Amino acid sequence: MTIEWFLVLSALLFSTGAVGILIRRSPMVILLCLELMLNAGNLALVAFSRMVGNAEGQIFAVIVMVVAACEVVVGLGLIVAIFRRRLPLNVDDLRELRG
């Protein structure tokens, strides 16, 4: 398979994740859609690394994976804290950012 196919698939997955962020209300599902977008970026990075024939792009993908794991941990911690305070788990109701 040529590299173009992987890159177009990556663009398609990225747009799917962006649509999910726009139409969903639950912060948990929005975090999942963020994961989709980060993984689409990873696919593009690995495809470019293969295109150049240099493994350094894969290091970038591994670091992106680390950052995604950190983001998930902090985001899920926030969701648990919101749930403990009996606030609604809905990004439209939580837009005021007050304690």
Partner 1 sequence: MEEALFFAAAIGALGGAVTVIAMRNPFYSVLGLIVHLFSLAVLFLLLTSAFVAAAQVVVYAGAVMVLYVFVVAYVGGGGESAWEPIPGQRFLAPLLGLALFVELSIAILGSSLLALSTDGPDVKAGFGDPAAIGRLLLEKFLLPFEASSILLLLAAVGAVVLAARRREAQA
Instruction: List interacting residues with partner 1 (CB under 8 A).
Output: 1-9, 11-20, 22-26, 28-29, 32-33, 35-36, 39, 42-43, 46-47, 49-53, 55-56, 58-59, 61-63, 65-74, 76-81, 83-85, 89-90, 92
What's the first-to-final CA gap in the chain, in angstroms? 52
Nearer to partner 1, 7 or 97 (CB): 7
Report whether 79 contacts 27 (CB < 8 A): yes
HSE (side-chain half, CA atoms, 13 Å) at 10: 16
Q: Work out how close the CB of 3 gets to partner 1 at its nearest, in angstroms, rounded to a whole number.
A: 5
Nearer to partner 1, 25 or 97 (CB): 25
